[in-house]
Amino acid sequence: MTHLFNDPARFTDDMLVGFLDAHARYVVAVPGGVVRTRKTRPGKVAVVIGGGSGHYPAFCGTVGPGFADGAVVGNIFTSPSSEDASSVARACHGDSGVLLITGNYAGDVMNFSLAVDQLRREGIDAHYLVVTDDIASAPEGEEAQRRGIAGDFTVFKCACAAAEAGLDLRNVIRVAADANAATRTLGVAFGGCTLPGADSPLFTVPQGKMGVGLGIHGEPGISEEPLPGAEGLAEALVDGVLGDAPRGGTKRIAVILNGLGRTKYEELFVVWGAVARLLRVRGYEVVEPEVGELVTSLDMAGCSLTVMWLNDELEKYWCAPADTPAYRKGAAMTDDGAVRSAVQYEAAAPARQLSQLSDDAGRLGGQYVAQALDAVAKMLADAEDELGRIDAVAGDGDHGRGMVKGSSAAREAANMAVEAGAGQGSVLIAAGARWAAEAGGTSGVLWGSMLSAIGERLGDIGIPDSATIAAAMRAGYDAVKHLGGAAPGDKTMLDAMLPFVEELQRLVDDGQPWSQAWTAAAGVAGEAAKATADLRPKIGRARPLAERSVGTPDPGATSLAMCARVVADCFVLTPKRDC
Amino acid sequence: MTHLFNDPARFTDDMLVGFLDAHARYVVAVPGGVVRTRKTRPGKVAVVIGGGSGHYPAFCGTVGPGFADGAVVGNIFTSPSSEDASSVARACHGDSGVLLITGNYAGDVMNFSLAVDQLRREGIDAHYLVVTDDIASAPEGEEAQRRGIAGDFTVFKCACAAAEAGLDLRNVIRVAADANAATRTLGVAFGGCTLPGADSPLFTVPQGKMGVGLGIHGEPGISEEPLPGAEGLAEALVDGVLGDAPRGGTKRIAVILNGLGRTKYEELFVVWGAVARLLRVRGYEVVEPEVGELVTSLDMAGCSLTVMWLNDELEKYWCAPADTPAYRKGAAMTDDGAVRSAVQYEAAAPARQLSQLSDDAGRLGGQYVAQALDAVAKMLADAEDELGRIDAVAGDGDHGRGMVKGSSAAREAANMAVEAGAGQGSVLIAAGARWAAEAGGTSGVLWGSMLSAIGERLGDIGIPDSATIAAAMRAGYDAVKHLGGAAPGDKTMLDAMLPFVEELQRLVDDGQPWSQAWTAAAGVAGEAAKATADLRPKIGRARPLAERSVGTPDPGATSLAMCARVVADCFVLTPKRDC
C-alpha cells in the first residue's frame, strides 16, 4: 500500500523535489530527470540510465561519481518520453559521446531510440542499449526478448565504471554488452505493490504461495508455486539462475540478492546464508555480493537473485568505487587496528563452576527441580500463543516466545547439572543463567535472576525445610524487585509474585508443609494475576500505551502464576519421584 | 508479512549467518553479536550498541570504521542477554573503556546494566547510556522515561564518531548524553509488522487512519487519527517534533526521515520535500539529512521524523565519515568536473514552430480537432480505472493513467495552438508532441507519433476532403506500426486501428462522407478491440505473461477504439460547431 502522497498524478514530481533536496550534494534537476552536480569531464563518456519511477534506488539514486552521469525519470512504472531522455542526455554529454541504457521494455525502447535519433541529429554521438537479464521472461535462444529487472544494476555499474575509467564510447558499449550477456536474474513475489492513490494492489498472491518470474512493474509472476522455506527458496533461485548460465561463464560471480520493497533485510540475510552456501558447494566464488534493495517495485513483497559471470574486466568494474545518493562503494575511511583472530572469542566468560559440595539429599532435590522445570517448559510451550496475545495488546507480543526459549534452555541446563551431580541450589543457578542467556529480553533476565537467587538460598546440602523454601521464594522476589526497579502495583510479575510469597510464608508460618502451602499460594497468585487487568503499568512501557493495557492482565504476572500452578501440580498431584 | 524463514525460532541465527557472510569485509561474529574485523586501536574508546533484532540497519548494520565497534544482537524485538552484552563489550574493549548504548527499554536496561556490572568486576571501565528520543512515550519533564526509536541513530552516530576522533571515555559519554538531550522523534504507522512464523501482524491500522506515536517493536501507536496527505503528515511531524524542542536549541539541525520498512523511498521523498520546506520556513538550516531506512521494524508501514539540535561539536560528529555494512558516509571517490550551473538546462530542445500558413478553413478545422481532443480527454478520464484494470491482467496497470495524462496534455496543447491561430495539422502536431512528452510510456510515444503523422498529412490549409482524412488515418497507422515494430495480430492497438483505417478507406472509396464512414469504422474498431481477447501478445511483454492475457482484450486496442467512437459521436451526433 502506498500511503503517502498528495495528488497521485503529481507523485513523481513531488518525489523528485524531496529527492533533489535530500541529495543536493550529488544531483541537480534538468528537464526530464537528474544529472550530477558536476559536468562530465572532457574525454569521459556520459552514461545515462533511466526508466519509470518506483524502483528506487534505481534509477536516480545511483547518479554520482563512479556510477551514472544522469538518470531519466519517468512516472511510476512508465517510460519517460523521448524528450525527457534526449534532454538528460544532452545535459550530461561532455565531448565524448553518451550511452543510454534501460531495461528492455517496449516504451523505453521506443522513447530512448527516438531520443538517440534526435541526439544524433544534433551531432551528439549517442548510443542505446537494453538490459535483458530476466530469465523467466523468454527462453534460452531468445535472450534478446527478455525484460530487464535487477540485472539492470550489474550492467549499469560496469558500464558506468568503465566510462569513469576513461574508456571510449565503443569500449563502454562493449563492456555494457558484455555485462548484459553475462547477467541472469530470477525473481519471486509474495504480494503486489499498490500505485499511489489506488486502493488495492496490482496483484495478490494467495497466502502460502509465491509468484515465480515476477517483473518489477507490478506484473504478476509467470507461475504460482507453494512458498517454500528460506532454504527451499534459495535452492529454487540458485537452480534457476545457474541453470541458465551463459556459455563459457567462469566460477567467479558477482551476486545480488535484491529485495523488492517489503521483503526486509533480515529475511534477505536468512535467504542469503543459504544462497551463499549453495553457490560455494557448486564451486563458485562470490565476489562482493550485494544483499539489499537495489531495484525495487514500490512496496512489492518479493526478492530476486542476480548473477553476473565475471571476467577480469567486469570484475574490475564491479568492484570499482562509487559515491551516489543510495549506493556507495569503497571505503571513505579505514580502520587501522590489528586484524582480529576470531578464535580468541570462542569463550565469552568463564562459566560458573557447579558446586562440588552436594550430598545425596541435595542431589535428589536437584532432580525434583529439574522435573519441575521440565513441567514448566512443557506448559509454557502450550501457552506461548496465549501469552503472546496478551503481550501484544500494549507490547510487542514476544512474551510467550521469550518464556518458551528461556524455560527450554533452563530445562536443558538443569538436566545437565543433574547429570553432573549438582544439588538443588546449583541446578537452579545453572538453569537461571541459561534462562537469562538464551531468552534475553525482560522476562529472561528477571527469571534468570529469580531462579539464581532461589538457588543461592536453597543450597546444595540436605532437603530444605518449608521455612527455607518460603524464604528462598522471598529471595527470588527480592531479586526481581531489585533488578527490575518496579514496585507492587506497577502491573508487573511482582503483582502475582508478592501475593504468592506472602501467602506461602503465612501458611508455612501457620505450620503447613510447603508443598500444601504452595498449592494455596499458587491459587492466590492466579487471582492476583487476573486482577492486574485493572492496573496501569508504571515503568518500562510508554505512558500512553499504559492506558491501552487496562483490561488485559499483565503477561509477566500471568506467566508467573501459571508457572507457580504447574509446580504445585507437579509436587502435590503426582508422587514426587515422577513429577 | 515476514515470508522468508526456516525455523522461526532460529530466525535471528539464520539472519546472522547471512549478514556475516555478505559483510565479511566489515564484521566478524563473537558470542552475543558482531564486532569489527579489526581490533580496537590503543587509546580508542569502544562503543557497543545493540538491542533486539528486526531493526536493520540498526544495530549490526552500522558496525565499522567511524561507527560502532560492536553490536549486541538479540532475537527479534527482544533484548539480548547480559551475557551477550558483556561478551561483545569484552571483545571490543581495547585499553580505554567501553560505552554501551541502547534504546530505553526495560529488558535492555536490565541486561546491559548487569553486563556493565560484570565488566567492571573484570576491570573494564564500562558505562551504559540509554536513548530517550520518542516524544510520544512520555511528556516533557519526564524525558528520561521516554523510549528510544530512530533517535538511536543520531546518538550512536555522534558517540561513535567522538570515540573514533580519540576522545576519552568521559567525553564520549558526554557527547552521547548531549546528543540524546538534543534529539526528538515522532513516528506514525499505517500497518503493523508480522513476526517470522506468525500469520497475522502485531497490530493493524484501519484503512485511511494512522497510529501516532508508534514504537519500533510492533507496538501500536498511542492514538489513531485520519491519515492525511503527505503535506499534512509533514506538518504534523514537524509541528510535533519542533513543539518539543529542547531548551537552548539552535537553528541548525540534523534530521532523519526514517522509513519503518514498508513505506518506501519514493513516499519518503514526497514527505521530505514538504518537511524540508516547512523547516526552512521556520528558520531552520538542515544539515546533511538522512531520508531512508535507518531504524526499521521488520515490514511495518510508517515513518518517523527525528531532529537533533546541533552545536558545533555534535555537527562535527554528525558529519564525520563512516564505513559500515549498511551506512556509508563521506566520499570514497570524487568528481573532478566543473560545477554545473543549473540555469543552462532550462530549455531542453527547441520547440517546433507552429505553422504560420493556416487559412480560415484550416483554423476552423483546428478548432474541431481541439474539440474532439477535449471529448477524448473527458472520456479517458472516466475510463481510466477500467483501462488500468485490463492492463493489470498481464501488465503493470498504468495504461489508463498514461492515456489520461497524455490526452489531457494534448487537449491543453491543442487549445494553445488554436489560440495561436494554428490549422488542423499544426494543432494535431502540437497535441501529439505534448501527448508523448507528458504521458511517456509506450502509449504516449505511439499516440504522439500517430497524431503528428495525421497532422502532417492533413496540413493547415483548407477543409480536408474525405479521401484526405482517410489517408491521414492510414498515415497515423503507419507511424504507429513503424515505431512500435508490431504487426497486426500481435495484440496491440494496431489490431483495432487497422480494421478502422481499412473500413474508413473502403466506405470513403464507396462515396460515403468521412464523418458517416468514421462512425461505421469506429464500430468495426470496437469489435476488433474486443476480439483481441483471443490473441497472445508477441512483443514488448514477457512471453509467459502473454498466456495470462488470453481472455482479456488488449488495453491499447481498447482505448484506441474508445477514442475512435468518441470522435465519431463528436462529429456525428452533435452539430460540428458545438462538438
Identify the CATH class of B360-578: mainly alpha
Mean pLDDT of A189-208: 83
pLDDT at residue B198 above 90? no
Note if B217 is an active site residue.
yes
Q: Does A334 touch chain B (CB under 8 A)?
A: yes
- Cα B285 from Cα B307, distance rounded (Å): 11
Under a CB-based contact definition with an 8 Å cutoff, are residues A36 and A164 in contact? no
Our CA-based measurement puts residue A513 at a distance from the nearest CA of chain B, in whole angstroms, of 35
CA A149 to chain centre: 23
**Per-residue pLDDT tens digits for A135-187:** 998 888 899 989 999 999 999 999 999 999 999 999 999 999 999 999 999 99
Burial of B506 (0-12, 13-18, 19+ CB in 10 A): middle
Which contiguous run of DSSP H or E holds residue A303? strand A301-309
Contact A139 B543 (CB under 8 A): yes
Chain-chain contact of A321 with B332 (C-beta, under 8 angstroms): yes
Residue B393 predicted with pLDDT over 70:
yes
* Dist. CA B63–CA B516, nearest whole Å: 75
Instruction: Tell me the C-alpha distance between B403 and B388, whole Å.
Output: 10
Cβ-count burial of B82 within 10 angstroms (0-12 exposed, 13-18 middle, 19+ buried)? buried
- Averaged pLDDT, B446-474: 94
Whole-number pLDDT of residue A553: 95
Distance from C-alpha of A34 to C-alpha of A87, rounded to nearest angstrom: 10
Does residue A269 belong to the interface with chain B, where contact is any CB pair within 8 Å?
yes
A interface test, pick of B270, B407, B450, B550 with most A CB neighbours within 10 Å: B270
Q: What average pLDDT does this structure show over B70-87? A: 94
Nearest neighbour of B11 by CB, restricted to A3, A270, A540: A270
Q: Which of A225-229, B42-46, B158-162, B212-216 has the lowest mean pLDDT?
A: B212-216
- Does B204 contact chain A (CB < 8 Å)? no
Confidence label for A539 from pLDDT (cuts 50, 70 and 90)? low
Q: What percentage of chain B has pLDDT greater than the value 70?
A: 94
Query: Can you give the three-state secondary structure of B72-131, one letter per residue?
Result: EEEEECCCCCHHHHHHHHHHHCCCCCEEEEEECCHHHHHHHHHHHHHHHHCCCCEEEEEE
For position A206, what pLDDT does the model report? 84
Q: Which of A75-79, A256-260, B551-555 has the lowest mean pLDDT?
A: A75-79
DSSP A412-438: HHHHHHHHTT--HHHHHHHHHHHHHHH
Query: Cell numbers 568521559 correspond to what residue?
Result: B170
- Mean pLDDT for the stretch of residues B8-13: 88
pLDDT band at B342 (very low <50, low <70, confident <90, very high): low
Higher confidence at residue A93 or residue A200?
A93
C-alpha cell at A353: 563452576
Nearest to A391 by CA among B424, B32, B195, B102: B195
Choose the most confident range, by mean pLDDT, from A485-489, A535-539, B371-375, B535-539.
B371-375
Which tens digits make up the pLDDT trace of B233-277?
A: 999 999 999 999 999 889 999 999 999 999 999 999 999 999 999
pLDDT of residue B347: 39
Interchain CB contact of A526 with B (< 8 Å): no
Least confident range of A307-311, B6-10, B447-451: B6-10
Structure-model confidence comparison of residues A200 and A444, the more confident one: A444
Q: Which of B114, B196, B231 sits opposite A6 (nearest CB)?
A: B231
Taking CB atoms and an 8 Å limit, are B271 and A4 in contact across chains? yes
Q: What is the mean pLDDT of residues A534-555?
A: 78
Starting at the edge strand found earlier in the chain, the sheet holding A285-292 runs A223-226, A209-212, A183-191, A301-309, A252-259, A285-292
Closest CA of chain B from A493, distance in Å: 13
What pLDDT score does A215 carry?
Answer: 75
**E strand intervals along A411-560:** none
Average pLDDT, integer, range B518-547: 84
Which cell is A55 given? Answer: 524502483
Task: Give domain limits for chain B.
Answer: 8-326, 360-578
CB contact under 8 A, B333 and A322: yes
| CB pair distance less than 8 Å for B106 and A539 | yes
Closest C-alpha to B448, from A79, A119, A53:
A79
Q: Which residues of A touch B266 (CB under 8 A)?
A: 2, 11, 15, 53-54, 56, 76, 298
Confidence of residue B353 (pLDDT cuts 50, 70, 90): low
Residue B458's pLDDT is 94
> pLDDT averaged over chain A?
91
pLDDT for A579 beyond 50: no
Decide if pLDDT at B577 tops 60: no
Do β-strands A285-292 and A252-259 pair in parallel, antiparallel, or remain unpaired? parallel
**pLDDT tier at A573, thresholds 50, 70, 90:** very low
Lowest-confidence region among A320-324, B297-301, B318-322: B297-301
- B548 in A contact zone (CB under 8 Å): yes
Question: Coil, strand or helix: which one is A47?
Answer: strand
Chain A nearest C-alpha distance from B506 (Å) = 31
Chain A contacts in chain B segment 352-411 (CB below 8 A): 392, 394-398, 401-402, 405
* Cα R_g (chain B), whole angstroms: 32
Beta-carbon count within 10 A of B482 CB: 10
Interval B334-345 mean pLDDT: 70
Domain A8-325, CATH number (from 3.30.379.10, 3.40.50.880, 3.40.190.10, 3.40.50.10440): 3.40.50.10440
Chain A residues with CB-CB distance to B145 below 8 A:
539, 543
Q: Which cell goes with A81?
A: 518520453
Distances (CA, A) of B89 to A240, A345, B454: 43, 11, 75
Rank A388-402, B212-226, B413-427 by mean pLDDT and report only the highest: B413-427
* Grid cell listed for B542: 514477457
* Amino acid A121: pLDDT: 92
- List for chain A the helix, strand, coil content (%; round to 5): 50, 15, 35
- Give the residue-averaged pLDDT of A51-74: 96
Residue among A371, A349, A306, A293 at smallest CA distance from A54: A293
CB contact residues (below 8 A), chain B span 70-129, against chain A: 74-84, 86-87, 90-91, 94, 105-107, 109-111, 114, 118
B78: nearest CB among A79, A195, A440 = A440
Mean pLDDT over B125-133 rounds to 97
Query: Containing H/E element for B381?
Result: helix B360-392
Q: Quick one: which H or E segment has residue B293?
A: none
With contacts defined as CB-CB under 8 Å, which chain A residues touch B264? 2, 56, 261, 296, 298-299
Q: Interface pTM (ipTM) of the complex?
A: 0.89
Over 50: is that where the pLDDT of A574 sits? no
Same fold, A8-325 and A360-578: no
Q: Which fold has domain B8-326?
A: Rossmann fold (3.40.50)
pLDDT of A348 reads: 47
B14 to chain A, closest Cα gap in Å = 5
pLDDT band at B374 (very low <50, low <70, confident <90, very high): very high
